[in-house]
A = this chain, B = another copy of it.
Amino acid sequence: MTAQAATSLGVELGVLAADVDDSAAGATRGIVVGSTESREELEAFAAGRDVVTFDHELVPREHLLALEDAGHVLRPGADALRHGQDKGHQRRRLDELGLPVPAHRLAHGVEDVEAVAAEHGWPVVLKATRGGYDGRGVWVISDAGAGRAVLERAGAEGVELLAEEHVDLVRELAVLVARRPGGEAVTYPAIETVQRAGVLRELVVPARTGVGLAAEARELALQIAEEIDAVGILAVELFETGAGLLVNELALRPHNSGHFSIEGAVCSQFENHVRAVLDLPLGETAPTAPVAVTVNILGAGAEPARGLGDALAVPGAHVHLYGKAHRPGRKLGHVTVLGREVEEARGRAHRAAAALSGATIGAAA
């Protein structure tokens, strides 16, 4: 989707991808096959390009620093990216800034898990500080024994863990910021994210929260972007609790929660990411409709193409398939619907997504 935005702006985009079947490969011919684990392949990819940006957090920090030392322009830079790569670093930084985060400590041993439980009760959440996303690397622990088991496994794999209070949520929110190198920044309307089993299932925009809280979320996201010197898209994932907002996660890249923006905002997160990292004027983030709903397509049964006709028969269904091979539970695409009324739009979006997931609804087993 970033490739499509770049193409429209006449920007030549190269993609360093693990293989030619990467979903970006369908949308651009600028694919370079290589590994972000290899400093040589990163160097070769960066050579001669004006700017290097990222769509995941998995490039090793030492490689990022080496690229910057060699004079390559990374946007965001290595120090900003670290807030999306290392949850421990991110929590420490937000603590220093006095920003609200869940109560947490590094879990060196089960005594750290028990300390969190003593103060906040069970369950306790254990999170890998690196490499986790979409529910991977997160464990909800209901007693010390379970905590010990996770700690042992993580220790054996050299994974550092955070122990955090289990937050009692009203809902989850996300705010996207687009920010240029000089500091100019814009935010999108607050997004309500609906997760199931740690996987993002649905977006409702604007979030069904109070106007004051939505404004506060946007201010908080802008402040974080400024403090960590984010460039491009910064996604700030938030917990809304009865006592206010907590920052849950930062991602310094176009984000799942911004998929609504292709149709639901004047300028999409993908285009604004391209604009921002090239230090071009940012596009308008205003909504194009009273409500936008995005539902992710998770593989369930058949190939999504078999449901395409049924999905496209749903009025106003904007279908985005990522060209990935079908596998149960895999995120294969998303559907966005714009409307005037939330439940009506949700109904249409879920109908189209169900058709594409290959689910058979109401059929006898």
Specify which of B8, B333, B338 is in contact with A320 (CB 8 Å cutoff): B8
Residues of B contacting A318 with CB < 8 Å?
A: 8
User: Per-residue 0/1 for A1-34: is the Cβ within 8 Å of any B Cβ (1 yes, 0 no)?
Assistant: 0001001111010000000000001111101000
Q: Is A365 an interface residue (CB 8 A)?
A: no
Residues of B contacting A12 with CB < 8 Å?
A: 26
C-alpha spacing A319/B266, complex, angstroms = 12
Report A148-205 residues with CB < 8 Å from chain B CB.
none
Task: Contact check, A281 vs B4: say whether CB atoms are below 8 A apart.
Answer: no
Specify which of B275, B319, B338 is in contact with A8 (CB 8 Å cutoff): B319
With most chain B CB atoms within 10 A of its CB, the pick from A313, A315, A333, A338 is: A315
Task: Contact check, A323 vs B284: say whether CB atoms are below 8 A apart.
Answer: no
Task: Contact check, A26 vs B7: say whether CB atoms are below 8 A apart.
Answer: yes
Q: Is A305 an interface residue (CB 8 A)?
A: yes
Listed by A's residue number, 23 A-B pairs whose Cβ atoms lie within 8 Å are A4-B4, A7-B26, A7-B323, A8-B318, A8-B320, A9-B308, A9-B312, A9-B321, A10-B305, A10-B308, A10-B319, A10-B333, A12-B26, A26-B29, A27-B27, A27-B28, A28-B29, A29-B29, A29-B31, A266-B338, A280-B308, A281-B309, A281-B312
A contact set with B: CB distance below 8 Å: 4, 7-10, 12, 25-29, 31, 266, 275, 280-284, 288, 304-305, 308-309, 312-313, 315-316, 318-323, 333, 338
